């Protein structure tokens, strides 16, 4: 089974790409597990060479899957089947990542697919563990204009609500992508969201070639996706997922970011934007980009930003509860499940 992981950061148009690839008959690309959220709990399972500990981990990970806003269509992993398969293996192979890999592969087999696409982008933080677990893994790096991506990050519950904080996250994740590219250049393909918008057929021909499967025209017809239809009516984060992307939306960031924020993002990301993998044009005059200005904040200012960030998060959650209660309560259910495992 070919295992492809999409990286490194959400709000890059990745879900639009996933929904279309899931229409390909050779691809199993369900709503992602986002297993990185589970990683902080790992220490409580102790030595996984002990069957009981490993079995408890398997049961809890499968339970975690059922907290997802969208279930894997017509497939639910059988805990006993997963345990029977994994507990027979060499104890040295036991890990959280091995459990997730087995679950995805079982789903792919049931769907008659030969490629798994895991859109759990935060898993880039554990990319070395994934290479160790799945030596022939491939990484699909979806990049988006950092100004547009950070503007989108600022307005959703998945990240922070300040350009300053999200810019740091963007830079860190991009540095991990460059680590992968440096050590395993044959394992990674970088594609631009903007190219998907401008020429989707060419975009998906490139991606399918990377995954060693033939291009299939069904990937262009998102109107056939029942999941896309349901998602667009469930959450404000997905409201446009059942329609074709609009080119004019690529510059929406100009209306949500200040000129100072745009310049700051350009200064910090210019080394990436000028690379052939990215190739984005700057909005600011070149004189602003000669030398990166180190904008330092004292501890008090940083603390104030964090406090205000949490205030905005609470305000957004309250808005979400009133306007999209289904989305809100599904997210709360997921959070409560993780918290229950700590008790």
Residue found by looking up tokens 């600022």 in the block: 154
195, 202 contact by CB (below 8 A):
yes
Which residues share a beta bridge with 189?
140
For 1, the token pair is: 């089974």
Give 99: exposed, middle or buried? Use CB within 10 Å, 0-12, 13-18, 19+.
buried
Cite the DSSP H helix spans in the chain.
Answer: 14-21, 51-65, 79-86, 96-110, 127-133, 146-153, 163-183, 193-198, 200-210, 226-232, 253-256, 259-273, 299-323, 325-342
Q: Are strands 2-7 and 138-143 parallel, antiparallel or unpaired?
A: parallel
Cα 72 versus chain centre, distance? 17
What is the reported pLDDT for 287?
A: 40
| Domain boundaries defined on the chain | 2-246
Q: Using CA atoms, how far apart are residues 6 and 129, in angstroms rounded to an integer?
A: 15
213, 27 contact by CB (below 8 A):
yes
pLDDT (tens digit, 0 to 9) for every residue of the chain, 343 residues total? Answer: 899 999 999 999 899 999 999 999 999 999 999 999 999 999 999 999 999 999 999 999 999 998 887 777 667 788 888 999 999 889 989 999 999 999 999 999 999 999 999 999 999 999 999 999 999 999 999 999 999 999 999 988 888 898 989 999 999 999 999 999 999 999 999 999 999 999 999 999 999 999 999 999 999 988 777 777 777 777 777 777 767 777 777 888 888 899 888 988 998 898 888 776 788 887 765 544 444 444 454 455 666 788 888 888 999 899 889 988 888 888 899 999 999 998 7
Architecture of the CATH domain 2-246: 3-Layer(aba) Sandwich (3.40)
What is the reported pLDDT for 276?
A: 67
Q: What is the pTM of this model?
A: 0.89
């Amino acid at each position: 089974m070919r295992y492809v992981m999409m990286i490194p950061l959400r709000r890059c148009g990745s879900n639009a790409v996933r929904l279309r690839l899931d229409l390909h008959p050779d691809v199993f690309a369900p709503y992602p597990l986002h297993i990185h959220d589970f990683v902080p709990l790992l220490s409580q399972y102790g030595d996984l060479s002990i069957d009981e500990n490993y079995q408890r981990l398997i049961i809890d990970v499968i339970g975690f899957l059922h907290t997802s806003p969208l279930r894997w269509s017509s497939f639910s992993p059988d805990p006993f089947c997963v345990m029977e398969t994994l507990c027979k293996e060499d104890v040295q192979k036991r890990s959280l990542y091995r459990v997730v890999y087995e679950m995805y592969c079982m789903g792919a087999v049931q769907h008659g697919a030969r490629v798994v696409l895991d859109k759990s982008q935060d898993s880039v933080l554990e990319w070395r563990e994934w290479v160790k677990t799945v030596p022939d893994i491939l990484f699909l790096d979806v990049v988006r204009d950092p100004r547009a991506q950070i503007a989108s990050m600022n307005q959703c519950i998945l990240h922070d609500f300040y350009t300053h904080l999200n810019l740091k996250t963007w830079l860190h994740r991009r540095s991990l992508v460059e680590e992968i590219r440096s050590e395993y250049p044959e394992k990674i393909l970088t594609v631009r969201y903007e190219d998907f918008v401008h020429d989707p057929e060419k975009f998906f021909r490139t991606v399918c070639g990377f995954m060693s499967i033939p291009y299939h025209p069904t990937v262009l017809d998102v109107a056939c996706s029942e999941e896309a239809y349901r998602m667009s009516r469930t959450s404000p984060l997905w409201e446009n997922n059942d329609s074709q992307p609009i080119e004019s939306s690529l510059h929406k960031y100009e209306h949500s970011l200040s000129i100072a924020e745009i310049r700051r993002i350009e200064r910090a990301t210019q080394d990436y934007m000028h690379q052939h993998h990215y190739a984005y044009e700057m909005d600011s005059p070149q004189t602003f980009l000669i030398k990166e200005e180190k904008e330092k904040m004292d501890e008090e200012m940083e603390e104030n930003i964090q406090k205000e960030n949490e205030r905005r998060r609470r305000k957004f959650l309250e808005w979400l509860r009133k306007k999209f209660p289904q989305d809100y309560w599904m997210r709360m259910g997921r959070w409560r499940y993780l918290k229950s495992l700590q008790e």
